Chains A and B, each alone.
Chain A
Amino acid sequence: MADTQEAVQNLVCELKRGTLVLSVLSQLEAPQYGYSLVQRLSDRGLAIEQNTLYPLLRRLEKQGLLESDWSLEENRPRRYYKLSPQGVSVLAQLHGEWDDLVRVIDRLLNEEETGNGTD
């Protein structure tokens, strides 16, 4: 039983990891700084560890999907990230891919529920 639980945990982790970039990009049409992004994602039901998110933001910036700027507010420097023009177009394409994927997976799973291969 414990083994099954562990296997499920790992698989869920894999699944989430695959959707991470899409989730992050989707929230960065307006600038966000690290902590506000964590909050935003968690408000919408996606709990994400900071030490996963922050390095990811830098990586996406290096890939040219995000732009960042330091700005000083309340006496504290904060780095704000937002989509670059390339990021906007990538997000749109990923969004399309995601919709397709959801449709396909949905079809696969429901086919199984109705007895798999009635046709």
Chain B
Amino acid sequence: MELIERYIYAVGKRLPRKQRADIEKELKSLIMDELDARTGEGKPAKEDITAVLMEMGPPAQVAARYTEKGRYLIGPALYPTYIMIAGIMAGAVLLGLTISMLVGFLSTQPDAGQALLQVGLLIPRFLMAAVTGLGFLTIAFALIERFMPEKQIMSLKDEDVWDPSQLPQVPAKYDEVKPWEEILGIVLAVAAIVIFNAFPEVIGIYWLEGESTIHMLSKEALAYYLPFWNIVWGLSIGKNGLLLYRGRWELGTRIYDIVLSLLNIAVLAVMIAGPRLLNETVAGAIQKAAGANIPDLMRTALVLAFGVAIVVTAVETGFKIFRLIRDRAQAA
């Protein structure tokens, strides 16, 4: 008889608490019936009990059959959403850590070795933060799974109402968006915004003059251009985000992209025409030291570089426009 108690206990501890007592009671009566059928009215031998229990099956299996819908931490209906949010969260954590590291670099000005160490530390930091985040996310989803009525969870999937014609087109090769490229774009743009707005003094090359270092780029010029750059970076983050969200290039994003390129050209043009980027104090010092008109040469080189950038961007933009028109024509 003790064997039976042990068996029922083994099944019961695997059952949801609410149903446990009831199922245990039923299971016991079923086992007793089986035993009766086997031994008649007499006292059952240990072999009989063993045989009956073997016939019932392993406790884990019996318990599994009693727990009808399967016991999930996060069930199939919620799982895809869970995975998606986990992915977004991992990306956001990485983005946040990278930005805070870059900001740290700017305020502490580490040497190469320290900087490398910080970059290396990014991995364990990411793992720690990601695991913590994943933990909270899992708890949240497990609570939803546990307490939200099944019907409501199923309606989240929304699969009953669908229409084949509403399925998105399979993106053509050139319409595909590579998520990591967009994420990298966002990281770089955010880093640029943070650096140029919050720590403009660290940018550019330094000119040593006696004891003090002087910035080679003119503060006034930077301040003059910064609003333009911020607009371009902001719009570019918007583009990356939009592409990530939509998962493909579309007419809207293509036009957005072309407008952004044209804006880039305009900003470069402003930089050629606008205030000089080279710090005048530094320019004077160089001229005095070198005797030759090196500052003018440097200015010319800068203008040339901007010019080349304009041409490259213009060609690229032309190509984008050409392809857009061609694709539209083909699609029509």
Contact = CB atoms under 8 A, between A and B. Distances in A.
B61 A34 contact: no
Contacts of A50: 30, 34, 55-57
B65 A33 contact: no
Interface in B1-47: 23, 25-27, 29-30, 32-34, 37
Give the interface size bracket for A toward B: 10 to 19
A44 interface: no
A62 interface: yes
B29 A79 contact: yes
A35 B55 contact: no
B61 A35 contact: no
Q: Binding site of B, secondary structure by majority: helix, strand, loop or mixed? A: helix
Contact of A35 (B25, B37, B57, B66): B37
B77 interface: no
B66 A33 contact: no
A11 B143 CA distance: 38
Contact of A77 (B29, B62, B66): B29
A76 interface: yes
A51 B23 contact: no
Contact of B34 (A35, A49, A58): A35
Given A50-B56, A58-B66, A34 B32 contact: no
Nearest to B57: A51
- Counting chain A CB atoms within 10 Å of each CB, the highest count among B30, B32, B57, B68 belongs to B30
B68 A78 contact: no
A54 B27 contact: yes
A75 B30 CA distance: 14
Nearest to B26: A79
B29 A78 contact: yes
A83 B313 CA distance: 78
Q: Binding site of A, secondary structure by majority: helix, strand, loop or mixed? A: helix
A35 B26 contact: no
Contact of B33 (A33, A55, A58, A59): A33
B62 A51 contact: yes
A51 B34 CA distance: 12
A58 B23 contact: yes
Interface in A13-63: 33-36, 39, 49-52, 54-55, 58-59, 62
B68 A34 contact: no
A35 B27 CA distance: 11
Contacts of B65: 51-52, 54-55
Contact of A76 (B29, B37, B56): B29
A28 B26 CA distance: 18
B29 A55 contact: no
Given A52-B65, A76-B32, 19 more contacts: A34-B30, A35-B30, A35-B33, A39-B37, A49-B57, A50-B30, A50-B34, A50-B56, A51-B57, A51-B65, A54-B26, A54-B30, A55-B66, A55-B68, A58-B23, A59-B68, A77-B25, A78-B29, A78-B33
10 contacts: A36-B33, A50-B34, A51-B56, A51-B61, A51-B65, A54-B27, A54-B65, A59-B68, A78-B33, A79-B29
